[in-house]
Structure 1
Amino acid sequence: MIVVTTPTGQIGTQLVRQLLHQGEEVRVIVRDASRLDHTVRRRVETIDGSHDDPAVLDKALPGVDALFWLVPPNPQAPSAEEHYLSFARAGSAAVARHDVGHVVGVSSAGHGWPTPAGVLSAAFAMDAELAKSGAAYRALSMPFYMENLLGQLDAIRTNGAFYLTCAGDLPLALIATRDIAGTAANLLTDLSWTGQENLPVFGPDRLTPDGMAEVISQELGRPVTYRRMSLDDYASLLRSRGAGDTAVKDVTEAFAAQDHGVYDADWATAKPTPTDFRSWCRDVLKPAADVQAP
């Protein structure tokens, strides 16, 4: 039996489908089971609730071979680190309590980064807490998600541009969520691994944001450029959307670390995953853009 948290998210949805396709028994922890696709809902066991709740975990984890762990984002949390740790403390204790042998967690690349890195540091703290459970643990260590660009479809369509805080002429490490799900599925279905490690999961490209804009332009059939946003401007944007000072600090510290190479050491050793940026644009970005087209 494999337990999957956040089964309706971008990664969890794809992971559950892969596990079911492989014939695995799957139990999910879900806040709203109605959000599960009906073809999935009838094939999985559901535990209602949130996985920061020990009582929910005590219902979900008995007899489990492996656990997929992902902390859902909460922009309203007063502190990213405390948000991650509130989940991780509950999870670590429950994993130890129920003797779950293997845990796969969604984390960030850059373990060992010497300065505060906001949300990334919160993920590193989560990994350390989960490791205390004694289970075999793999922290899937990822860079910038390609799917983050889906939130900029309006800007791409109306302004012909997308916006990040990093230099346009320096390579940006990328990963597609379907490759995160695929890596997790492989680990959860072959439990021959032992120990506790960080596992870098990076896509095959070495594209700059300017190069990404060229690919997007070609795949969408319209000119798209990259425009760099300063961290101060990004912080102002977050505040205009209601983010508090700590939340702004958590995000801008993460982007500052990204700009200064937090992913570089892991990128140098990572085995490339299958999905390149052009394929992702063709398979995911373009269909989404076509749906939103007026």
Structure 2
Amino acid sequence: MRIVINTPSGNVGRLVTDQLLQTKEEVVIISRHPEKVANLVAHGASLMEGSIDDPSVLDRALNGADTLYWATPTIPHPDYHNWSARAAQTAAEAVKRHEVKRVVVLSTWGAQHGPGAGPVGVHLAIETAFQAAAPHVTILRAAIFMEDFVTIPSALNHIGMIAAQGTIFGPFDPAKKVPIVAARDVGEKVVEALLDTRWSGFRITGIHGPEDLDFSSMARIIGEGIGRPVKYVQMPLDQVKQGLLDAGMPGSFVEYIMEMYTEQAAGRADPAEPRSTETTTRTSLLEFSREVIKPAVEVASMRMNEAV
């Protein structure tokens, strides 16, 4: 089976590619930056160099393909919504042109609401584009990623704030419960869908992590995992906005992010898919905190001490 991966250097895409390369399937990856995926090529992946919104690149990658994995990268593009929708539509047209039978799309919680929720809002159009292009399409709507506590380089700067003040700042009500999931569990669900040829038609499923947690509980669990108290403090949306601007994020993208935060804070972007055995995954936030957040906080603390 020939499987095409459009985001092989992403948090989930790299995990998916690594796992598929351990099987007997043919793995094709699309990337504009060969240096970022050199190790994947060394382990057997075929590289189609170029952009995921380039029809010629997609034609080369999807020629003879059985299955496509599509994830939309969250990048500070000045016209992110339209770019994301156009890229997905271009890929969907290539899928149809090359008669690719199966597509697995990584989407997000709250995608059902459509436009008006920032980066979340474009995913409904992406889902719809692929639904119309292939006979068998799986949409995986993932919850908040645990990795967001580590990787978001913004005003929220979670790792730095935990290291400096033992505090997590965010725009949400401390008592609001949301699903939260580890990228590795999302990757497992993606690989499962890519390799299982028994399913047919169009289906949507959530990936919800082991349990829904409120933000105060998340902070407490992270504190337990790193071995020091951590608290959650809600920030007014205007302060979040200014912090993003101060961090150097382009103004148009800041407005887009704020639209997402506003909708999520108001509860208008909650998951449509009920929690079930199928949507519940295994990695707990406590386990993730011990394995990932704790080392990151220790590095941040060491750098702060060296700077004094």
Taking structure 1 as the reference length, the TM-score comes to 0.92
- Are 2:21 and 2:43, in contact at CA under 8 Å, matched by a contact in 1? no
2:63 counterpart residue number? 62
What is residue 227 of structure 2 aligned with on the other side?
A: 221
The question of whether the paired residues in 2 share the 8 Å contact of 1:81 and 1:123 is answered with no
2:273 paired residue among 266, 272, 279: 266
- Which of these residues, 208, 211, 214, is aligned with residue 217 of structure 2? 211
Q: Which runs of 5+ in 1 are unaligned?
A: none
- Percent identical among aligned pairs is 29
Shift of 1:97: 0.8
Q: 1:232 to 1:267 in 2, by over 3 A?
A: farther
Which residue in the other structure is 2:198 paired with?
Answer: 192
1:126 corresponds in structure 2 to: 126
Alpha-carbon spacing, 1:112–1:264, altered in 2? closer, same or farther (3 Å): closer
Q: 2:114, 2:122 within 8 Å by CA — same for their partners in 1?
A: no
Using the alignment, how far apart are the partners of 1:199 and 1:37 within structure 2? Answer: 32
**Deviation digits for residues 239-289 of structure 1, max 9, x if unmatched?**
223444542232122122222332243244562111121111122222333
Separation in 1 of the partners of 2:64 and 2:40? 25
Taking the aligned partners of 1:20 and 1:264, their CA distance within structure 2 comes to: 32
1:43 corresponds to: 44
- Sort the Cα spacing of 1:54 and 1:199 in 2 relative to 1 into closer, same or farther, 3 A: same
Counterpart in 1 of 2:136? Answer: 136
Q: Does the 8 A contact of 1:173 with 1:263 survive in 2?
A: no
Range with greater deviation from structure 2 (258-267 or 142-151) = 258-267
Q: Deviations over 1:168-209 (max 9, x none)?
A: 122122111111111110010112212222221111122211
Q: 3-state DSSP class of the match of 2:21?
A: helix
Instruction: Return the alpha-carbon distance in structure 1 between the equivalents of residues 17 and 182 of structure 2.
Output: 16
| 1:143-182 mapped onto 2 (5 Å cutoff) | 143-151=143-151, 152-182=158-188
3-state SS of the aligned residue for 2:4? strand
Confirm or deny: 8 A CA contact 1:110 1:266 kept in the other structure. no
State the alpha-carbon separation in 2 of the partners of residues 123 and 147 from structure 1: 20
Q: Does 2:283 match 1:275?
A: yes
- TM-superposed CA distance for 1:150, in Å, is 0.1
Output one character per residue of 1:140-186: Cα deviation in whole Å (capped at 9) or x when no partner.
Answer: 11221110100321111112111221111221221111111111100
Taking the aligned partners of 1:167 and 1:160, their CA distance within structure 2 comes to 18
Root-mean-square deviation (CA, aligned residues, Å) is 1.9
Residues 73-125 of structure 1: CA distance to partner in whole angstroms, max 9, x if unpaired? Answer: 221x2333202112112101110111111111111122432772121111112
* 8 A contact 1:173–1:267 mirrored in 2: no
- Any unmatched runs of 5+ in structure 2? 152-157, 303-308
Contact 2:74–2:119 under 8 Å retained in 1: no
Identify which range, 171-180 or 253-262, moves more after superposition: 253-262
Q: Contact 1:202–1:267 (CA<8 Å) still a contact in 2? A: no
The aligned counterpart of 1:107 is 107
Contact 1:143 1:263 in 2 (8 A): no
**Counterpart residue identity of residue 93, structure 1:** E
CA contact (8 A) 2:113 2:124 kept: no
- 2:12/2:184 contact within 8 Å kept: yes
Q: Paired residue for 1:18?
A: 19
Amino acid at match of 2:170: L
Is the 1:108–1:124 Cα contact (8 Å) retained in structure 2?
Answer: no
Task: State the partner residue of 1:284.
Answer: 292
Residue 232 of structure 1 deviates from its aligned partner by 1.4
Q: What amino acid is aligned across from residue 80 of structure 2 in structure 1? A: A
Asked whether the equivalents of residues 102 and 134 of structure 2 are also in contact (C-alpha less than 8 Å), the reply is no
Amino acid at match of 2:22: H
Q: Match for 1:14: what amino acid? A: L
Equivalent-residue separation in structure 2 for 1:65 and 1:264 (angstroms): 30
The amino acid across from 1:140 in the alignment is L
Distance in 2 of aligned mates of 1:233 and 1:131:
39
2:116 matched to 1:116? Answer: yes
How many residue pairs get aligned? The number is 293
